[in-house]
Every structure is written in C-alpha cells, then in structure tokens.
Structure 1
Amino acid sequence: MNKHTRTALMVAPILAVIGYIAADYYEEGLAEEEKVIQLLPVENCDVINQKCILKSGDFEVNIFDKNNFTTVNSTFPLDSATLFLVDENNQSTPYPLGMIQSPYYWHAETDLRKLIGRSGQSYTLRLIANIKGGRYISEFHTYTK
C-alpha cells in the first residue's frame, strides 16, 4: 500500500463525519427559513360538532369548540397559534391561542358557539399556526350540522 492510499484511508472517516455534521446544519437552516404553507380542509368543517381537520402533507390540525373554548390540536408541536373569526364584512377578530399542558394543544375562549351554535349556520375562520420558521395558514368555512 502506497502512502497516498494510506493517507486517503486515514482522512476518509474524518471527512465523512465532517460531511454528516455539515449536512445536519444545512437541513436545520432550511427548516428555520421563513415559509408560508397553506392548510386545506380534509372535508367540510364542523367546528361545533368536532369534525374539522386541516391538512398539509404530514401536518394535520384538528379544530373544535367545547364549552365556549375553541381548541386547536396539531400533529407537530406549535410555537404559537392564532384563530380569527371573520364576520360578513370581512372584519376579523383575532384570538391568540394559549398552550394547554403541551405544545400540541392550544385554546382560547371565543364567541364561536354563540355565532354558529344552531344547525345550518356557517362562519368563516382563519388560522395561523407557527412552527419554527414556517407559518401554516388557512381560511375556511365551518358549517354546523
């Protein structure tokens, strides 16, 4: 074995470890870049009857209202979340959601049940969920059945 082969065999593992670490930093940097991703309803949403799922790829958000608290449950931990109730004049009322025991569950007391508590009523909602540099946004209608 000549000296060039011996040197290559000694340097290769070091370069592999350095490459692995560099790739990890690169991927972490991409994950923290600001991006906006749209969440789409899987089916017709009925927040009052706990049947509203928004989805984008592997990320899912379930939105429901129970005892005048509107709750957002996500498949990945959120940094923050805000729900907007949008009236017929396109004026939105923001409700910053607070974390409940873990970053997977967020809620706030809203007037949603008063607005669409009866069958046949509908309302427009907007959601912004933040995960690191990503903002997941959605505008959707909820119909009470």
Structure 2
Amino acid sequence: MTGSSTREAEILPRPRSRAERRRDTEHRLAHDVDVWVASASADGLPHLVPLSFDWDGEALLMATPAGSPTGRNLAAARTVRLGLGPTRDVSMIDGEVEVIELGALPPERADRFAARTGFDPRASSLPYRWFRVTPRRVQAWREVNELDGRELMRDGRWSA
C-alpha cells in the first residue's frame, strides 16, 4: 500500500454494507428532526436552508412560508435535494415535491408534525405551505471507502 492508502486504512472505519446504510438512513428519517433543503430558483440561484420534517415511512413532510425563497423554489420546480445527517455520515435524498395548502392537510397529520418538530406552522401569522417530499433517489456514505455502492434508492425503489 502507498502511504496515503495505509493512513486511510488505519483511520477509516470499515465500510458499511448497503443494507446497513439503508437501515442507518431509515433510522435517521425516523429519529432526526431537521434536514438541509437545497433548492434553486427558475434562473438557477441556489438556496440552502435547514427545515424540520416528519417522516411517515413514505415521505418527508416539511413546512415553510409560501413566499420564502425555499417555498417559491419548491412550488415551482417540484423537485428538491435533501441532506440528512452530518457531513461524515450523510444521506442525500432527491425527491419529488407535492405542495399542500396549510388547511388542506388532515389535522391529525399536522398535529403529528407539530408534536414531532416542536413547531406548528398553523399558529404562524405568515402564510405557510406544507411540502411533502417523496424520495426518488437516496445515496448514503461516510467516507471515501463508502463511495462505491452509495446509491440505495433509484426511481423511488430501494435497491438495498
């Protein structure tokens, strides 16, 4: 091994299997509360913000002001990239966005979001919208030794 490869082998944890990465990603979805939301305007201006979310086993539910850059971008593009977890244990989620008017979400679903995140957009004086993100592609990795095989979902189907 070269010096660099030897150093990597000494300090990197063993790479997880794809099944382990999927379990770790699903655990984060079930237990984390915040996610990085990357969107872009029609003219390509990027925007990145953290938002709270609730995972129901199929999709992430988020809320943000309808007139905010993120709200406008998500409503227009109907796609998003999410970053879940720290940089050294990240799950990247590309998803399709469904826009839901604030009063159109069933109350029990909105109550669940508020209980889990500690934030209830229905109580805000700003006009909020719900954004339901259905994952279409999921990638997960910790270090360079997990770059191979990082794609866990493609076209909305788990492959791991």
Q: Counting strand residues as a fraction of each chain, which structure ranks higher?
A: 1
Structure with larger Rg = 1
Normalising by structure 2, we get a TM-score of 0.31
Normalising by structure 1, we get a TM-score of 0.33
